[in-house]
Every structure is written in C-alpha cells, then in structure tokens.
Structure 1
C-alpha cells in the first residue's frame, strides 16, 4: 500500500524491519553512524571547472571538435599539470 503512494521513495519491507530492530535496540536517530577512515572526496567539481567551454560528446571530451582556443587551453593545462607532476617527483 505504501509503495502505491510513495513509489520508489518508499523503504522496502526489509529496511523497515532493520530500522525497527535498531530502534528497538535503543537507537534514537536516523543519522548515519560515524565511519572510520578518511571521508570520500569528489573531484568532479575540479574537473568540471577545468572543462568550461569544451565540447562533450558521449560523456567524453573529443579534442578534434575543440576550437583553436580550446586546444590552446588544453595544451596549457597539460603543460601545467606536467610541471606540477615533475615538481612533486624531483
């Protein structure tokens, strides 16, 4: 009945039983438990900022479709990345 009203937003029967068990054992919040280790980071925003005004075809940048300005920008970014990489190594 809940699936009809809420669709995919509804918890499955299994999850409902899991949460019931957790609350029965004394849990008082639905917040995630702290996890050990370093939190995951996304580099998507960094990548997106470096790809402004570039053509994306099939979720890939296709250099042959770049304008001359975009090609120069790509070359400059590659050179900067190479220099940074070598600075870290040597």
Structure 2
C-alpha cells in the first residue's frame, strides 16, 4: 500500500472518530485501532503515533502529514532521474543497485528510495528473477518444443521417455560450508 493511500485512509479514519472534547488519548487510540483494524492490508498504528496525531488535530491541523520543512530541495530525486532509473531497470532487471547508481550518477540511498518509494519495487532473490534470453535462444526453445509436440502426436508413449531437469545442483553428499571446513 502506497504512503499517500495510507495517509488518506488514516485521515478518513480520524474524521470518523468524532472525538468528544476532553476525551483522553487512550480512548481515541482504541477507537482509531478499531476503525483501521477493519481495513484489509492496513497495519495497526503505534499508540505514540496516534497521540502525536491527536495533538496535531487539537492544534488545528487538518492532516496527519508533516508540515513542510525549510531546506534545500533534493536535486538527485527528480522526475528525470526517476524516469532514467525506471528505463534502466526495464531494460535490464538484473542490474544491482550499485551498478544502477554508477550508471545514473546518484547515491545508493537515493537509488533505494527511488526504487522502493517512487517505483514500488522490492528486491527479489536472484534465483527468482527470470532469465533474459537472446532471440536465438528463444527460437531454439520454440523449435525444440514443436519437435517434442510432433513426436508426442506421432507416438503417444514417447512422453513417458522424457526426463526433465533444471539448473539446480544436487550433491550426492552434504558439502561443507566455509565455516565448517575451517
């Protein structure tokens, strides 16, 4: 769930509270948790955070978002940079964050922020990332599959002779880890 969606949900939940003046923060917190607990995929809010929001609303603020702080705006996290990172990732999903930062010219923290916050991506184990095949490899696979299909249609018992395999190494013994061998 995106941060902006979460903020809207919490803002709406707080508006639903209809707090009575003088009501204590603990009671308001339990009411808020009941409302938010019914929303699928929404995590329960920390009690201290609820008290902070309560103070903000008592002071007249109408949103739970932090006030704008003065300071220098970010120069590395621009629309152009985000677009460039998105294009690089779409071209080659196996890029590491370090390679991406070198190619784009941004810091590792900014790169992580763009990938997670702006693009909504998360790290996936390298084993689960699909391989990018060349055109020649794709054509070869299609040819092999068509050949197998033709053989099965000509001889239905042929399918029983097929042995499948993947690229997993299976040892006939338990190999020692580096820690065990030292």
Is this a same-fold pair by TM over 0.5? no
The structure with more strand, counted as a fraction of residues: 1
Give the number of the structure with larger relative contact order, counting CA–CA contacts within 8 Å between residues 6 or more apart: 2
How high is the TM-score relative to the length of structure 2?
0.25
- Report which of the two structures shows the higher radius of gyration computed on alpha carbons: 2
